[in-house]
């Protein structure tokens, strides 16, 4: 009986440690003093398929206590995005940057090694600025699976937040999509909720 009680106490202690500290300390710049949440991405971030103010960054801004800026550009690849990283991200006092690129890299046949290099470059510059970085994964099932695997590894190596499968449950649901890939207004609301659940623990002062 005494052994069981000790085991339970140890289990509770370990659980408390995981949920109250360990995960946070692994994220670089958890103590960031930046002001804004920057959503840096392509058409998924831009809000293609939805009306003005119906994009996921707009929805996210209603769920968290920090200003959210939409820096998504329709059709952007990770290479194109690097050219605007300073103006659109680094110069905007970021606290956390949500990086969402993969779809156009895949469509335009950019070598995956180059995509990985670009994403790592983005994270390095963002973290050097003193902000947290988060990698947003748009894969679903086998679709863009290789990017999911690569991004998870990058996040682990760079001490960045990894947000998996934001399109899971959306890409297979016609009521949440505007076309074969892009969400509609309702779909973007679900994306915002998923992202919010991952980043909120890192936004507490």
What is the DSSP annotation of the chain?
Answer: -HHHHHHHHHHHHHHHHIIIIIHHHTSTTTT----EEEEEESHHHHTTTS-TT-SHHHHHHTTSSS-EEEEE-TT--HHHHHTTHHHHTGGG-EEEEEEE--HHHHHTT--HHHHHHHHHHHHHHHHHTT-EEEEEP--BTTBTHHHHHHHHHHHHHHT-EEE--TTTTTTT-GGGBSSSS-B-HHHHHHHHHHHHHHHGGGS--
Tell how far CA 139 is from the center of its chain.
Answer: 12
Nearest partner of 198 among 24, 33, 72, judged by Cα: 24
What pLDDT is stored for residue 204 in this prediction?
A: 79
With a pLDDT cut of 90, the percent of the chain lying above it is 85
Q: What is the pLDDT of residue 17?
A: 38
Write down the pLDDT at residue 90: 98
Average per-residue pLDDT in the chain?
90
Record the tokens describing residue 7, joined without a space. Answer: 């085991």
pLDDT confidence of residue 201: 96
Nearest-angstrom CA–CA distance, 123 and 144 = 20
Q: If pLDDT is split at 50, 70 and 90, which confidence band does 88 have?
A: very high
For 114-165, the pLDDT digits (tens) are 999 999 999 999 999 999 999 999 999 899 999 999 999 999 999 999 999 9
CA distances from 10 to 7, 21, 23, 157, 190 (A): 5, 16, 18, 29, 37
> Considering its fold, how many domains does the chain have in total?
1
pLDDT of residue 27: 97
Predicted TM-score of the model (pTM): 0.87
27: nearest Cα among 127, 98, 117, 103: 127
CATH classification of the domain holding 176: 3.40.50.1110
For residue 137, the enclosing domain spans 2-202
């Amino acid at each position: 009986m005494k052994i069981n009680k000790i085991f339970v106490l140890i289990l509770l202690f370990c659980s408390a440690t995981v949920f109250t500290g360990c995960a946070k300390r692994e994220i670089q710049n958890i103590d960031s003093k930046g002001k804004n949440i920057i959503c840096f991405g392509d058409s998924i971030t831009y809000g293609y398929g939805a009306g003005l103010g119906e994009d996921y960054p707009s929805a996210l801004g209603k769920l968290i206590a920090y200003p959210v800026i939409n820096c998504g550009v329709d059709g952007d690849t990770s290479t194109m995005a690097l050219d605007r990283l300073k103006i659109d991200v680094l110069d905007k006092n970021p606290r956390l940057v949500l990086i969402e690129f993969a779809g156009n890299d895949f469509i335009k046949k950019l070598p995956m090694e180059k995509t990985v290099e670009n994403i790592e470059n983005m994270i390095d510059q963002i973290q050097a600025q003193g902000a947290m970085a988060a990698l947003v994964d748009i894969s679903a099932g086998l679709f863009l699976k290789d990017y999911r695997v690569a991004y998870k590894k990058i996040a682990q190596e760079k001490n960045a937040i990894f947000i998996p499968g934001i399109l899971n449950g959306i890409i297979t649901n016609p009521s949440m999509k505007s076309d074969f890939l892009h969400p509609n207004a309702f779909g973007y609301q679900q994306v915002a909720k998923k992202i919010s659940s991952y980043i909120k623990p890192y936004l507490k002062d």
